[in-house]
Structure 1
Amino acid sequence: MAGTASPAAGYGPDGVYRSPRPAAAIASDPELSLVDLVLRRAAACPDAPALVDAATGRVLTFGDLRSDVLSAAAALSSRAGVRRGDAVLILAPNCVLYPVCFLAVAALGAIPTTANPLYTEREIAKQAADARAKLVVTVAGLLPKVASLRLPTILLDGGGDGASRQPNVTLYSDLVAGVQETEYRRPPTRQGDTAALFYSSGTTGESKGVVLTHGNFIAAATMVTSDQEDNGEGHNVFLCFLPMFHIFGMSVITLGQLQRGNTIVVMSGFDMDAVLAAVERHRVTYLFSAPPVMVALAKHGSGGRYDLSSLRCIGSGAAPLGKEIMEAVAEKFPYAEIIQVRSIYTQQSLHASSFWLVILLLQGYGMTETSGIISLENLQKGRPRHSGSTGQLVTGVEAKIVDSETMEHLPPNQQGEICVRGPNIMKGYFNNVQATEFTIKQGWLHTGDLGYFDERGQLYVVDRLKELIKYKGFQIAPAELEGLLESHAEILEAIAIPCPDPEAGEVPIAYVVRSPKSSLSEVDVQKFIENQVAYYKRLRMVKFVDSIPKSPSGKKLRRELIAQLRLSKL
């Protein structure tokens, strides 16, 4: 039952919170695709820089981007046999060709699915099988990880050491050689069609394919740039070293900003001096990072060597960041606003001499299932800062706070589960009806997060109802680690939980019940897991116990162990 309406909070008599931001026109043409949205900039500003390689200085203008995307799409169709509905696995570090290939696949009505280059061969094979991938796009250094898939493979780089001579391997340069953009034939595409498949652990359990439509990306692109429009900002330059396989790096930064006509300076990874040099060289105005980078920025002492006066905004995303680190960075970057983007993604600054600074700490909130965005504080509005808030709902998104037991709608300043709806909400989980129905109920996405709105409509995310472990922004599903642990012949039961860590945010640890005559050591268990997962999923500690606490129904009481661990660290 809805409470009393509170217009200032955007809370209506129906118990629904609505965005106080000005309504933004989200493109409604049902036949508009994500690719159409991004490439239309080629007509408006063909000579403006779209993508810049920070390492080489190579520039793709918006005209180049259109030509390269459509030529690649034609080549993938005619020479690689990619068809509408086919899934194409992209496994690569950030590079200028990454978004080109992503858009080229989508332009065919096919489905790009992005994977973390840090994944093990087992993890990659699992995603490829689940997504039903027909083709792989990767780089030579990662070929060993995809060899067992026995799929046709496109190499984005030169393919040294004879990599291109391997069976089923083709160099990207050979694939597109001689192909003209006029050879591209646009398939019938609608906003409701699947545009991409990102993998997320969702609200619980193992990794699942998040089906995002063209309409989802189109809506998100408008949502993440509407404040720039409302604030009258001109052209912006975004530095992107956050991974493009991640929803934040691809949707919020790359696609969202390209469709506005902003420039993306692409870096394959983080290096302090390279970042500072890129900001100076390319006059970067926005830089989004992750907590470990912010810690490095706070401790870095060489920023004075660079002219970073172009920088307006520093963001930290993918995991919570302490106020102390934010303020330490702010002291070294007095020209920039400081943003903390707290995300569930599933889910991507700078220096000068020290003199006066008005610190504006802003946060946001999003997840893979919402195309990367739910709420965001405004750079120009909402002062004084509402400490701890993730901002107000972005335009077009509605929310409700519900009691997790009674499902009653809750008014401002009462905590409950955060539920959201809007045109950016996923279509569902790929080939997983049960998980979709558990997460989306009557049109509302249940985030699995605990939070509340205050009387001004500021959203506070205070805890996670879901059981994910967040290591430096990476998601770790306890169920995956437990499944691997319990596959060991000498382990009867296991449970994985997050352990607070000052640098990583959380690290995974496990409680393990050994078989009666087992002599397994902590190191034995850690090595068993280490050989099967990406580095960030490795167990930092293993505790041997006689039993795992369970509810009467047999459910593992993970939160009970988490509470005990927190008490022991007080």
Structure 2
Amino acid sequence: MPLRFVFQHDNDPKHTTRLVQEWFHNNDVEILHVKQRSVRLAIALRKKEITSKDVILCCSKNTIDNTIPILAALYLGAKVVNLDPTLGVRNSRHLVSLVCPTIIFVEDSSVGFIESSLEQTNLTPTIIVFGDSDEYEQFSELVRPQEDEEEFRPVKVDIHDTAVMFFSSGTTGLPKVICHSHYSFLQMLTIGQEYGYNYGSTLHFTTFYWISGMAILANTFMDGSARVFCDDVDGETILKIIQDYKLSAIFMAPVYTYKLTRAENLSKYDTSSLRYLLTGGTPISPEQTKRLNNLFENGEIIFGYGMTEVGRISSFYPETNKKLMKIKPSSCGQVAPETSVKIVDPGTEEVLGPNREGAIRVKSPSVMVGYYNLDSSQCFDSDGFLKTGDWGYYDEDKCLYVVGRLREMFKYKSWHIVPSAIEGVILEHPAVKEAVVIGIPREDDGEVPAACVVLKDGCVVTNEEIERFVVERVPDREKLRGGVAFATELPKTPTGKVIREEVQKCQIMAHILHGRKLNSIIEMTTLGEFIFNQADKFGSNICQVDANLRKTESYSSVKQRSVRLAVSLQKKLSAGDVTVSCSKNTLDNAIPVLASFYLGAVVSNLDASLGVKNSRYLMSLVSPKIIFVDEPSVAMIEEALQGTDLEPEIVVFGRSDKYRKFSDLVQPSPEEASFRPVTVDVHDTAVMFFSSGTSGFPKAVCHSHYTTLQIVEIGKKIEFEEPCTLNFSKFYWISAMILLIRGFVDGSTRVFSESLDADAILRTIQDYKVSSVFGAPSLTYVFTHAENLQQYDISSFRYMLITGTGFSAEQYKRFSDLLPNVDIIFAYAMTEIGQISLFNPKYHKELMKSKPKSCGKVAPETSLKIVSTDTREILGPNQKGEIHVKSPGLMVGYYNLGSTSQCLDNDGFLKTGDMGYYDDDNCLYVVGRLKEMFKYKSWHIVPSFMEDVILEHPAVKEAVVVGVPQEDEGEVPTACVVLKDGYVASSQEIEMFVAERVSEREKLRGGVTFTTELPKTPTGKVIRREVQKNLLRCLE
């Protein structure tokens, strides 16, 4: 056999050299070469008693050295297998345990990885290091001259013995070990040679972990071609390598082809030597194929189809199939020499004809021996054909098309969806770098197509734009009904294949939790029309109860009075004007709300406890036309209006000599019988709520008629009966407004009270048969501390709805033990979007009991994701990040603050500013506000967690934790505590109590201070910046 001259290029300049590599039996070359070094290593390994029974494992990037152990092992008849450090320790530990290597060759940078992979195994292989090592034997020591190297000959083994092993991609589970014999691997090379390609020097990027890397190495001994290898580089570097080394062929994955076509200065390089660009694995769009043909005018783009288990299955013959290659760019060619392919219906096992899609089966002399230490019989059919797991067809020219993986396909309704077809369309979008399509389960549709997309650097595009782009190019069944999410990278195997199970399991897409989709139960009209029409259905039903004054009012009366007020105001008030109410809860203060809805005016409510400064700011923001105010708050409103340009009409609930009285405006009118609500756009703003203002001045949150009714409808779809609800919130809060409107859906009764006295609450529940109580967590303590609980019949009481802050597990247990028939439902909601999550007692009873800290499952019609605050990556279960949420109840925006786009992410999800996670049961946990967190040294401290611990102390009523700056430590946790009446506790006692229950970093290093009350907003939220300011003042 003549000499084989092989050029190997390593992109590390220190290792760039020229080598002569020859087939073993040619030994007349005098310079140091591959054969010489591999023989020396083989002799050294033989002295270590390596035989054909042993496995040699290599873990290294491509270098001049890592070829040598492979050849040496083959000389000794040992089995060769290669590991890639990007697999990760878990997979590597599994694979190393599977093959039990006697020796591991490893590059110096991966020694730690190998050591970790060997932990928790019983393996004790010899480790040999490429590079320097004080602990292990060095490769360089084993390739020194040997006395008997001239006499060395390879060991004779059976050609059907396993020679080379490869790890499968692991896209459908832990990787397996694919075994090729000497015979099957040489057959694979022979089949490749029969195509008649004259490769010459070939560039590749694959390590020997890939079968392609091993095949290209072996081909150098078949035809004397040069092997050029390098690490992942940019397109311009690839073009320079083509020019400098006169490459005639490149083997590259489709993703690398985009690097070439996007490279700048394309015309600067001479690539005329390139004859073949061989690719495969995933499809390339027709547009990209055209770009490649334009780049390499003299070359052929050859898309092949192969598998590690069998090698090449199909490809075009460049000399005889040139015409077919050009007119069938999406085909992977005709069947390879010595190979048979059939298309089979997997249900009936019928062999299908041309243009009929089915499962691809293949038979070839190069098919694997099997999977190492596993029964592989199920991989073959009764005719001995390998079940590839791919889905495809062949046309009338016997050109093969692979349309997807059988396991990747899913069913939308009765249609088979082939992800690769949709992915090919998405990749045509100019901003898209990578895309994967999976099926997301939907109750009525089977699985709907959803896409996860990686954008090109510097490109910006919305999910809606991608969805529209796809809609215009695919049939209805392939529309992205599951939506589009963006990622910085896709989870892949070391071979570059997307791990679809990870995309689905860790859910880059179904990381996005979706609430149930249910049929609409509310006609989407304006709030005015809806309430006006619905009121007549419930006539004499009790609409509202003032528990303070023991007064009730029917739906008929509420409608009559609100219509009369609308008639009185219609000449003064137009659609789009703003009305403001500032009043405690009475039977009267709901009436201006409804009258404003009838007239298309925008409703807003103030709370007198906001004070003059905040009230002045908010009224200046919304510019009300009319202000409804109760008697005690008139002076505050007058003072708040001073220094503004506002001149609203003031209407007083009660007596007034200076302003119009509300009672005068609800007198009978001849026009009331013919009155009808004004027609406005359902997407116009209907109601505004003021944000809590915990981190600055409050903002005005705008909801349209549509979004408000959507919030009401989502609440109703939770499907538990609340015929009578007691609440303590004013219309300043969204909860009170939603309860008012919800009554017009089902005729339920809204009971309101100001008293938090236990006896008053228990009497109200008894007298009005209250079924649910809505309030803050502190309300639960009213029940658990009630002395006269047994004196009242509260059997109607079924649900305790909690929102806002959490409370301790001990309090949950106390309440549940005391009232076992009452379900505590901890809900998560925001003014900006309404209900986000809660447990449905109809379906989630056991979960509610076992997860008292969770705020439940995602609400109907709602989508939620957890996003890394650092990388913006969508996180999976049990990973903490910022909560982002999307719902048809999402606010219109903030009033008069311009664009609110900064509140939304690229997918249109609201950035809640809350930190949380969901568990393996998709139950949500809110752990704190992003703005409330602080750093002690390098640790993130979540105040709410520590506050829960402090609240477990029997003497503590309320607690807030903030960070107090210290020069060397960042901010140290510091607590401000309110004690229960009659209790005494020292700061040291509370510090010790906390220290016993938290990690080292969460100890109260800043100490504990006591106060009689915490500064709060009108909604009851602690104003942390005020607490911090007061603490710093105390410490001065």
Query: TM-score when scaled to structure 2?
Result: 0.41
Shift in CA distance, 292/455, structure 1 to aligned 2, threshold 3 Å? closer
Q: CA deviation at 1:281?
A: 0.7
Partner residue in 2 for 1:244: 731
Partner residue in 1 for 2:513: 17
Shift in CA distance, 187/10, structure 1 to aligned 2, threshold 3 Å? farther
After TM superposition, the structure 1 = structure 2 runs for residues 60-459 of structure 1, keeping only pairs within 5 Å, are 60-78=553-571, 81-148=572-639, 149=641, 151-156=648-653, 158-159=654-655, 164-166=656-658, 169-179=659-669, 181-182=672-673, 184-201=675-692, 205-228=696-719, 233=721, 236-251=723-738, 253-339=739-825, 363-370=826-833, 372-382=834-844, 383-385=846-848, 386-433=851-898, 436-442=900-906, 443-459=908-924
Partner residue in 2 for 1:488: none
Shift in CA distance, 207/392, structure 1 to aligned 2, threshold 3 Å? same
Shift in CA distance, 70/286, structure 1 to aligned 2, threshold 3 Å? same
Cα distance in structure 1, aligned partners of 2:558 and 2:502: 47
Cα distance in structure 2, aligned partners of 1:376 and 1:47: 32
> Which amino acid letter does the alignment assign opposite residue 830 of structure 2?
M
Partner residue in 1 for 2:928: 463
User: What is the DSSP-based 3-state SS (H/G/I as helix, E as strand, rest coil) of the residue aligned with 1:452?
Assistant: strand
User: What is the DSSP-based 3-state SS (H/G/I as helix, E as strand, rest coil) of the residue aligned with 1:137?
Assistant: strand
Shift in CA distance, 7/101, structure 1 to aligned 2, threshold 3 Å? farther
TM-align CA RMSD: 3.5
8 Å Cα contact 1:283/1:308 also seen in 2: yes
Partner residue in 2 for 1:543: 1032
| Residues 152-202 of structure 1: per-residue CA shift (max 9 Å, x gap) | 21112x22xxxx111xx1111112222353353422222211011111147
> Which amino acid letter does the alignment assign opposite residue 153 of structure 1?
I
| Residues 51-83 of structure 1: per-residue CA shift (max 9 Å, x gap) | 1222334322222222222222221223xx122
| Residues 494-531 of structure 1: per-residue CA shift (max 9 Å, x gap) | x9x99554679xxxxxxxxxxxxxxxxxxxxx9xx99x
Partner residue in 2 for 1:36: 529
User: What is the DSSP-based 3-state SS (H/G/I as helix, E as strand, rest coil) of the residue aligned with 2:750?
Assistant: strand
Cα distance in structure 2, aligned partners of 1:12 and 1:202: 34
> Which amino acid letter does the alignment assign opposite residue 66 of structure 1?
K
Cα distance in structure 2, aligned partners of 1:415 and 1:533: 30
8 Å Cα contact 1:8/1:457 also seen in 2: no
Structure 1 or 2, whichever has the larger Rg, is 2
Cα distance in structure 2, aligned partners of 1:258 and 1:450: 35
Cα distance in structure 2, aligned partners of 1:311 and 1:380: 16
User: What is the DSSP-based 3-state SS (H/G/I as helix, E as strand, rest coil) of the residue aligned with 1:223?
Assistant: helix
8 Å Cα contact 2:631/2:652 also seen in 1: yes
8 Å Cα contact 1:314/1:336 also seen in 2: yes
User: What is the DSSP-based 3-state SS (H/G/I as helix, E as strand, rest coil) of the residue aligned with 1:466?
Assistant: helix
Q: CA deviation at 1:323?
A: 2.0
User: What is the DSSP-based 3-state SS (H/G/I as helix, E as strand, rest coil) of the residue aligned with 2:835?
Assistant: coil
Shift in CA distance, 499/433, structure 1 to aligned 2, threshold 3 Å? farther
Partner residue in 2 for 1:559: none
Cα distance in structure 2, aligned partners of 1:5 and 1:289: 42
Farther off after superposition, 326-335 or 385-394: 326-335
Partner residue in 2 for 1:352: none
Cα distance in structure 1, aligned partners of 2:898 and 2:554: 42
> Which amino acid letter does the alignment assign opposite residue 664 of structure 2?
D
8 Å Cα contact 2:526/2:679 also seen in 1: no
Cα distance in structure 2, aligned partners of 1:267 and 1:137: 20
Shift in CA distance, 93/109, structure 1 to aligned 2, threshold 3 Å? same
> Which amino acid letter does the alignment assign opposite residue 165 of structure 1?
D
Farther off after superposition, 405-414 or 129-138: 405-414
8 Å Cα contact 1:418/1:448 also seen in 2: yes
8 Å Cα contact 2:565/2:666 also seen in 1: yes
| Residues 273-324 of structure 1: per-residue CA shift (max 9 Å, x gap) | 2211111111110011223322232212112221111111122322222222
User: What is the DSSP-based 3-state SS (H/G/I as helix, E as strand, rest coil) of the residue aligned with 2:610?
Assistant: coil
Shift in CA distance, 503/41, structure 1 to aligned 2, threshold 3 Å? farther
> Which amino acid letter does the alignment assign opposite residue 265 of structure 1?
V
Q: CA deviation at 1:454?
A: 2.0
Farther off after superposition, 535-544 or 174-183: 535-544
8 Å Cα contact 1:9/1:458 also seen in 2: no
Q: CA deviation at 1:262?
A: 1.0
Cα distance in structure 1, aligned partners of 2:501 and 2:580: 47
Partner residue in 1 for 2:32: none
User: What is the DSSP-based 3-state SS (H/G/I as helix, E as strand, rest coil) of the residue aligned with 1:122?
Assistant: helix
Q: CA deviation at 1:432?
A: 1.0
The size of the alignment, in residue pairs, is 461
8 Å Cα contact 1:120/1:533 also seen in 2: no
8 Å Cα contact 1:52/1:264 also seen in 2: yes
Farther off after superposition, 289-298 or 10-19: 10-19
Structure 1 gaps, min length 5: 340-362, 479-494, 505-525, 548-570
Farther off after superposition, 92-101 or 191-200: 92-101
Q: CA deviation at 1:539?
A: 4.6
8 Å Cα contact 1:200/1:209 also seen in 2: yes
8 Å Cα contact 2:801/2:827 also seen in 1: no
| Residues 417-468 of structure 1: per-residue CA shift (max 9 Å, x gap) | 111111101111111125x122123321111111222222211112211349
| Residues 219-259 of structure 1: per-residue CA shift (max 9 Å, x gap) | 1111112123xx5x4x61111222231112222x3323442
8 Å Cα contact 1:238/1:264 also seen in 2: yes
Cα distance in structure 2, aligned partners of 1:204 and 1:212: 22
| Residues 325-370 of structure 1: per-residue CA shift (max 9 Å, x gap) | 222233332332222xxxxxxxxxxxxxxxxxxxxxxx21111111
Q: CA deviation at 1:121?
A: 1.6
Q: CA deviation at 1:398?
A: 0.9
Q: CA deviation at 1:12?
A: 7.1
8 Å Cα contact 2:809/2:852 also seen in 1: no
Higher relative contact order (Cα pairs below 8 Å, separated by 6+ residues): 1
User: What is the DSSP-based 3-state SS (H/G/I as helix, E as strand, rest coil) of the residue aligned with 1:396?
Assistant: coil
Query: TM-score when scaled to structure 1?
Result: 0.73
User: What is the DSSP-based 3-state SS (H/G/I as helix, E as strand, rest coil) of the residue aligned with 2:701?
Assistant: strand
Cα distance in structure 2, aligned partners of 1:75 and 1:498: 56
After TM superposition, the structure 1 = structure 2 runs for residues 469-508 of structure 1, keeping only pairs within 5 Å, are 499=975, 501=977
